[in-house]
């Protein structure tokens, strides 16, 4: 099992999650974060830290968000580790909760 970052992180990137992860398994892309499934120990600490509710246990990923399981694994291999909080993206509040954000994911 692992935890998974889903669509609502796109263009938000608050990064509260990375500060609590004991095994530094978050990786940062231009406008999205992912979790490395090979490193995540399912401690669940990051779930409540995410202000936009973007993180789920792999088995609890909402309907329609299933592609994010493979996407986290794929992009974690490509993007660098992030383990310190940085400012959220400038228009994060505007993007919170918008549907169909996947089309805006920058690789
Ligand atoms: S706290 Fe949530 S929105 Fe912010 S980077 Fe982490 S997963 Fe993305
Ligand atoms: S569940 Fe724990 S180990 Fe996995 S990403 Fe979240 S904080 Fe890190």
Give the residue, by CA position, lying nearest to ligand 1 atom 1: 50
Q: Chunk the chain into consecutive blocks of 10 residues (it has 107) and report each block's average pLDDT, rounded to whole numbers.
A: 97 93 98 98 98 97 97 98 95 94 96
Ligand 2 contact via 1 beta carbon (within 6 Å): no
| 58 domain residue, yes or no | yes
The CA-CA-CA angle for residues 103, 45, 14, to 5°, reads 40
Which CATH number do you get for residue 81? 3.30.70.20
| 21 domain residue, yes or no | yes
Domain count, the chain: 1
Query: Which pLDDT value is given to residue 43?
Result: 98
| 96 domain residue, yes or no | no
The pick from 40, 60, 83 for probing ligand 2's pocket by mutation, whose C-beta has the most ligand atoms within 8 angstroms, reads 40
Query: Which pLDDT value is given to residue 24?
Result: 98
Ligand 2 contact via 83 beta carbon (within 6 Å): no
| 62 domain residue, yes or no | yes
Q: CA-based Rg of the chain, rounded to a whole angstrom?
A: 12
* CA 16 to ligand 1: nearest atom: 1
| 103 domain residue, yes or no | no
Question: Can you give 57-105 as a three-state secondary structure string?
Answer: EHHHCCCCCCHHHHHHHHHHCCCCECCCCCCCCCCHHHHCCCCCHHHHC
Domain of residue 27 covers 3-85
């Amino acid at each position: 099992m692992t935890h998974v970052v889903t669509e609502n992180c796109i263009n938000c990137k608050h990064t509260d999650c990375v500060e609590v992860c004991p095994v530094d398994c978050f990786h940062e892309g231009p406008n999205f974060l992912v979790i490395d499934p090979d490193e995540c120990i399912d401690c669940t600490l990051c779930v409540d830290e995410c202000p936009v509710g973007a993180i789920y246990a792999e088995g609890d990923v909402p309907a329609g968000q299933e592609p994010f399981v493979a996407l986290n694994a794929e992009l974690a291999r490509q993007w660098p580790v992030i383990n310190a909080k940085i400012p959220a993206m400038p228009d994060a509040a505007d993007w919170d909760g918008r549907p169909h954000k996947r089309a805006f994911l920058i690789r």
